[in-house]
Structure 1
């Protein structure tokens, strides 16, 4: 999403959580003058087969469900286009939700995916739990996850943490249009572990560089650098204390487990943040 945001993808299951996320997708599309693509995946149902081998057969009623939901989605697209003066297209696919989102995002050259997330708790702390997890993990473009209780669609204040990871400059280039369209104030937060002096020097220099760049771009910015025991916990505590409208993170993949897991940092942030989280993976 470096450059103008031209195409936004909003996946929906027609739930209240998705409907809330839709408000954000519409608001961003209006501010960015982007085309909004709304999408629904129909998951084939399987019936068990009784016999020596445990298999499953696809329930043939799913095609009728797809036809019904496709009509529902088209009506929604027409309503959104007329009400908000937007270009809106509807898309339906039969198959796995996350895989269908990823495939469609590539086909349509999507710049941003906006979707609701149920979050997690207790035993599922390290798993986002919904299709948002797989989407963030696999997507080629940034993914904005919207907690169920998020209300304000204006990103007046944006929290921008800086860690000693790849993609910090790319993260800024990816959101500059969002910052300008919202006239956002940026909270630059450099964070390093206690006694990690090399990382602290890196983030201090990077925060200074980004601060100068943002000032040149006409963006209001406030800086803070901090040592802490746990970076994810500190960022979450800082988010609750400062109440930003948007939190932007590098959703890095843990190298040894990249086929299965996001880094624990990204998982913990998305699971527990009280505000929308824009997840950007280094390319």
Structure 2
């Protein structure tokens, strides 16, 4: 994937409100980037779903093919191209991750909660596992909220090499017509002159990267060890509509590791979260 483009988006659908909202967001991002879309619905036979969202007391399994085709038609009208439609059975996480790999998807957009009734304080198990094992970035859309574009982005970071490259994907998601506010949240465990100098360098780099783009870059510093709480509180105070999480939040070289700060943010964020891991 070219770091500056999105050409193929995977949209997992389980007919929950959360996944349908994520579908709308994914189609909007695809429309902005002239990207292709693959829609996937996986029926896990080890779990019995009671899908009543769209058809009253009737289980959606009885006619999910018709509903998926209707979603594909709606996407085609907006994109001017026919989405790929995949319907299958098996392990949900593996099916989504393998499909993303097979078709070289640049982004997965999915709901925070699935149709199987997880507590609202925590993201669904399948969503969490997709984040953990996917080879591409994953955008998580909270339940009961719709997002067609993002104009108020929060980017928490620590001064680590390569952290700026993770920002490039945001350009593919923000509005071309409205000014985007980009808040850089500089995180450090304690006041450190070296870190402050590195942050100043990074901020200058950000301003150079956004030159000619309608983006307002601002920053703030936060010192302390309660990183997850700091990020969640800042996102709420700023009314951010997109939160970018990168490996700089939890340092680890393990391939499928999601650190405790990232886990807590994923479970409790009321803001859409874009997760870009070290291997993305």
Q: Give the TM-score band, short-chain normalised.
A: 0.7 to 0.9
Cα distance in 2, alignment partners of residues 230 and 166 from structure 1: 23
| Secondary structure of the corresponding residue to residue 40 of structure 2 | strand
Deviation at 1:203, TM superposition (A): 3.1
Give the conservation status (yes or no) of the 8 Å contact 2:22–2:146. no
For 1:101-180, list aligned pairs within 5 A: 101-118=96-113, 128-165=123-160, 167-179=162-174
Task: State the partner residue of 1:82.
Answer: 77
Task: State the partner residue of 1:220.
Answer: 216
More strand by share: 1
Cα distance in 1, alignment partners of residues 41 and 132 from structure 2: 19
Quick one: structure 1 residues 121 and 200, their matched pair in 2 at CA, closer, same or farther if it must change by over 3 Å?
farther
RMSD over equivalenced CA pairs, Å:
2.9
Quick one: structure 1 residues 247 and 256, their matched pair in 2 at CA, closer, same or farther if it must change by over 3 Å?
closer
Task: State the partner residue of 1:18.
Answer: 19
More helix by share: 1
Give the conservation status (yes or no) of the 8 Å contact 1:160–1:189. yes
Task: State the partner residue of 2:189.
Answer: 193
Quick one: structure 1 residues 196 and 100, their matched pair in 2 at CA, closer, same or farther if it must change by over 3 Å?
farther
Cα distance in 1, alignment partners of residues 38 and 276 from structure 2: 20
Cα distance in 1, alignment partners of residues 43 and 274 from structure 2: 26
TM-score by length of 2: 0.81
Structure having the higher Rg = 1
Deviation at 1:235, TM superposition (A): 1.1
Give the conservation status (yes or no) of the 8 Å contact 1:204–1:225. no
TM-score by length of 1: 0.80
Q: Any stretches of 5+ residues in structure 1 without a counterpart?
A: 47-64
Deviation string, structure 1 residues 15-45 (Cα, Å, up to 9, x no partner): 1111121121121111111112111011124
Number of residue pairs the alignment of both structures matches: 261
Q: Any stretches of 5+ residues in structure 2 without a counterpart?
A: 48-59
